[in-house]
Chains A and B, each alone.
Chain A
Amino acid sequence: DAKTTQPPSMDCAEGRAANLPCNHSTISGNEYVYWYRQIHSQGPQYIIHGLKNNETNEMASLIITEDRKSSTLILPHATLRDTAVYYCIVTYGSSNTGKLIFGQGTTLQVKP
């Protein structure tokens, strides 16, 4: 089972920041938080990951609370093309031992 809890759906106005929350209260010390998204009918796309520090890349920012029990993915200026299902996944970093377990994710609808 997925180790994360996300709201099933969210709306965001185009051009505004989209803040997607994720709870992972049972995360262990060496597990990372990864975010992926799946745009309709396409394969999932990696967005960002972090361990305990906040992270930023060209796609998004990831804010992880100090106790690491929750995190927030921030899309700073959402566009219509950001409409997708967003998955928050907790996993070990090494693909030899970890595997991505997808939950239901959050369906983000960006509206004009």
Chain B
Amino acid sequence: DTAVSQTPKYLVTQMGNDKSIKCEQNLGHDTMYWYKQDSKKFLKIMFSYNNKELIINETVPNRFSPKSPDKAHLNLHINSLELGDSAVYFCASSQSDTLDGYTFGSGTRLTVV
């Protein structure tokens, strides 16, 4: 199926640990994003990559490091996890030379205990 897929779907971890979330899209899009949805349900952009290059970095702590090995993948690594990092993280993709909407993944629910 064509889609944006994220793994894992759920992640429970202790404070101080390092974890990664993976995202892959098979839509042939050239731009990928990470969004964070907090407990109040606000969706906020974190990063955007176009053809493997970082184009948006929304003052996210340095503990968050995105990596795009190719334009179909955008992973998110988080160091020294804190309680406040608990949220749902959504990956999305789009094609920059069209007006088509973004396609979002189904989210990764991260719980830091």
Contact = CB atoms under 8 A, between A and B. Distances in A.
Interface of A: 32, 34, 36, 38, 41-47, 49, 85, 87, 93-96, 99-102, 104
B105 interface: yes
A interface secondary structure, majority: loop
Nearest to B41: A85
A43 B107 contact: yes
B interface secondary structure, majority: strand
A48 B7 CA distance: 28
B96 A46 contact: no
Interface stretch (B14-22, B43-51, B60-68, B69-77): B43-51
Contact of A36 (B94, B100, B101): B101
Interface residues of B, number: 27
Given A95-B95, A96-B96, A41 B107 contact: yes
Interface of B: 4, 31, 33, 41-45, 48, 50, 55-56, 90, 92, 94-97, 99-107
A101 B31 CA distance: 16
A44 B107 CA distance: 10
A37 to B, nearest CB: 11
